[in-house]
Amino acid sequence: MAAITMAEMWTTVGSTIASFMFVWTIIRQYCPYEVRQFLEKSMHRLRSFLNPYIHVSIDEFMGTRLNRSEAYAAVEAYLSTNSAKSAKRLKLEMEKDSKKIVLTMDEYEKVTDEFQGAEISWVLGTKSSQPMGNGNNSQPERRYYNLTFHKRYREMIAESYLEHVMKKGKEIRVKNRQRKLYTNGARDEYAYPRQPMWSDVPFEDPARFESVAMEAEKKQEIIEDLLTFSQSRDFYARIGKAWKRGYLLYGPPGTGKSTMIAAMANLLNYDVYDLELTAVKDNTELKKLLIEITGKSIIVIEDIDCSLDLTGHRKKKKTEKETEDKNEEEKKENNLKDWEGKGSSKVTLSGLLNFIDGLWSASGGERIIVFTTNYVEKLDPALIRRGRMDKHIELSYCSFEGFKVLAKNYLLVETHPLFDTIDRLMEETKITPADVAEELMRKSPTEDVEKSLSKLIQALEEVKKEAATKKAEEETRVKHQPQ
């Protein structure tokens, strides 16, 4: 009896819907345009009133088809983690400038997400584009994400969830992107007017802080300084300063300055701009280069003391003795003149100072500037004062602690009976981490640890002998010098 009633009920529902659809089709076909529009609007309102769910759509392209929406890209990245877990039909994509493949949901797949107790569902849809005016209907379909949630979560979604999706999505995109190493070479603007200011290659240096030989405490301090900087967007905005930080790395050749820069870029996931100052024609070109530097980047000027002629500094020292009361401004003027016109580059000290201060910084922030030098004492104080080069880091000869990092990295050993001899010899001699690394490098995979360590001991003893000979020669020279 009940089954018949159910069947009857379904028949009634079915025939009601069919009659409704029939009436609706007649109305759409024969009613005047105004009446039809009025009825369609009312139907839409009725549907919205009865439906407790809210839909938000995020289109892939905004306006012109050329600009891919940042919001769409962020949602795609955000959902790539969710969809990889729950969607059944996935698409494998590899975006331009991304180093990783991403699994995204396929069209009409639905994935659900949970946020502060609310259930949210995402569907990837497509809609066909408007036919073009000339009748050409060959425009591809437009994709969009449709976000659905219950209307009681409206405020929470608008205020927190969407922000959460954008933030996480952008983080994933930054992590996945292929980082680049940009270099500036000599340019011929007349022959190639469209030549870009920077040329780039993928940045693939594997250096990590874990493998940098230096005292653990000092290393930790540098890592914390870098991480604090990268998380200080609000702080820099509050104090009204450009979000940038300068590091001066100084020390003898082969002590790990360049290695540390690569480790910094890998730690922070930044691009690297290797600025060759001698290839920059003048201050105007330097300014143009600066404008094209994007955020999340490390700008490196290696061997800053060799990049530009610093005779100005040496001259200043000489004249200081003669005219001690010379006022500061005069000194600075002298200095600037000496910088100008040396070598092929006409970049001046003031041009470089302005570059560092980021006077022309066009967009964003999060930039680190690193100078390296073997001779810190040669540099103009204005160049390396705090505020420009905020942190001065000395990289020096290898300590026993530094050696242990290299031994662990190259030989996979943390202790060995020969370590004591090495410790003693390192106290007595100066050897660079580059030389230690060279000795520890196995010539063949079968070469044993003991042989590598013995090679290092031999090298240390040779360095010690050489130093002793040099010292004795120096003492003899001083003794025989006419008084």
| Residue whose tokens read 């490098």 | 441
- Looking at 68-76, 165-173, 249-257, 459-467, which segment touches ligand ATP (CB under 6 A)? 249-257
d(CA 135, CA 396): 72
Non-local CB neighbours of 415 within 8 Å, separated by 6+ positions: none
Instruction: Tell me which of ligand ATP, Mg ion, none is bound by residue 212, counting a contact when its beta carbon lies within the kind-specific cut-off of 5 to 8 angstroms.
Output: ligand ATP
Site for ligand ATP (CB under 6 A): which residue of 80, 176, 184, 259?
259
Residues 6+ apart with CB under 8 A from 20: none
Q: Is residue 104 within 8 Å of 91, Cβ to Cβ?
A: yes
Task: Name the H helices within 31-161.
Answer: 33-50, 70-86, 154-156
Asked if 380 and 349 touch (Cβ cutoff 8 Å), the reply is yes
Residue 265 lies near ligand ATP (rule: CB under 6 A) = no
Nearer to ligand ATP, 259 or 348 (CB): 259
Stretch that binds ligand ATP, among 62-70, 80-88, 145-153, 431-439 (CB under 6 A): 431-439
Query: Between 129 and 374, whose beta carbon lies closer to ligand ATP?
Result: 374
**Number of amino acids touching ligand ATP (CB under 6 A):** 16
Q: Counting runs of H as helices and runs of E as strands, what totals does the chain give? A: 18, 13
Pick from 69, 146, 230, 258 the residue near ligand ATP by CB under 6 A: 258
Helix (H), strand (E) at residue 63? none
Q: Which amino acid is at 480?
A: H
Partner that binds at residue 453, options ligand ATP, Mg ion, none, CB closer than 5 to 8 Å by kind: none
255 touching ligand ATP, by CB under 6 A: yes
What mask, x for binding Mg ion by CB under 5 A, covers residues 243 to 282? Answer: --------------xx------------------------
C-beta of 82 vs 374, nearer to ligand ATP: 374
Query: In this complex, which beta carbon is closest to ligand ATP, that of residue 206 or of residue 445?
Result: 206
255 binds, among Mg ion, ligand ATP, none (CB under 5 to 8 A by kind): ligand ATP
The DSSP string of 86-99 is: H-SSEEEE--TTBS
Using CB under 6 A, which residues numbered 371 to 390 contact ligand ATP? 374
In angstroms, the CA 81 to CA 416 distance is 45
396 binds ligand ATP (CB under 6 A): no
How many beta carbons lie within 10 A of that of residue 463, not counting itself?
Answer: 17
How far is CA 163 from each of CA 207, 232, 474, rounded to the nearest angstrom? Answer: 34, 19, 69
Distance CA 351, CA 357 (A): 10
Alpha helices in 61-183 (DSSP H): 70-86, 154-156, 162-176
Question: In whole angstroms, how close is the CB of 277 to ligand ATP at the nearest point?
Answer: 15
Smallest gap from Cβ 146 to ligand ATP, in A, equals 51
Nearer to Mg ion, 258 or 399 (CB): 258
* Span of 127-135, 149-157, 250-258, 311-319 interacting with ligand ATP by CB under 6 A: 250-258
Cβ-contact 256, 213 below 8 angstroms: yes
CB of 258 to ligand ATP, least distance (A): 3
Residue 258 or residue 354: which is nearer to Mg ion going by CB? Answer: 258
Stretch that binds ligand ATP, among 53-61, 142-150, 218-226, 257-265 (CB under 6 A): 257-265
Minimum distance between the CB of residue 463 and Mg ion, rounded to whole angstroms?
21
Question: For residue 178, which amino acid is it?
Answer: Q
Q: Which of 246, 254, 312, 351 binds ligand ATP (CB under 6 A)?
A: 254
Closest approach, Cβ 278 to Mg ion, in A, equals 16
Please state the closest distance from residue 372 (CB atom) to Mg ion, in A. 6
- Give dist(CA 118, CA 249) in Å, integer: 50
Residue 79 structure tokens? 């959902």
Cβ distance 207 to 263 under 8 Å?
yes
CB atoms within 10 A of CB 102: 21
Nearer to ligand ATP, 90 or 434 (CB): 434
| Chain residue whose CB lies nearest ligand ATP | 256
Tell me if 214 contacts ligand ATP by CB under 6 A.
yes
Local structure of 418: helix, strand or coil: coil
| Least Cβ distance, residue 393 to ligand ATP (angstroms) | 11
Q: How far is the CB of 374 from ligand ATP (least distance, A)?
A: 5
Question: At a CB cut-off of 8 Å and minimum separation 6, what does 263 contact?
Answer: 207, 208, 209, 211, 212
d(CA 436, CA 425): 12
The yes or no reply on residue 437 touching ligand ATP (CB under 6 A) is: yes
Judged by beta carbon, residue 230 or residue 374, the one nearer ligand ATP is 374
| Count of residues engaged in binding Mg ion, rule: CB under 5 A | 2
State the binding partner of 256 from Mg ion, ligand ATP, none, CB within 5 to 8 A by kind. Answer: ligand ATP
Residue 253 in the binding site for ligand ATP (CB under 6 A): yes
Q: Which among 71, 364, 390, 389 has a CA at the least distance from the CA of 233? A: 364
Residues near Mg ion, by CB under 5 A: 257-258
List of residues contacting ligand ATP (CB under 6 A): 211-214, 253-259, 374, 395, 433-434, 437
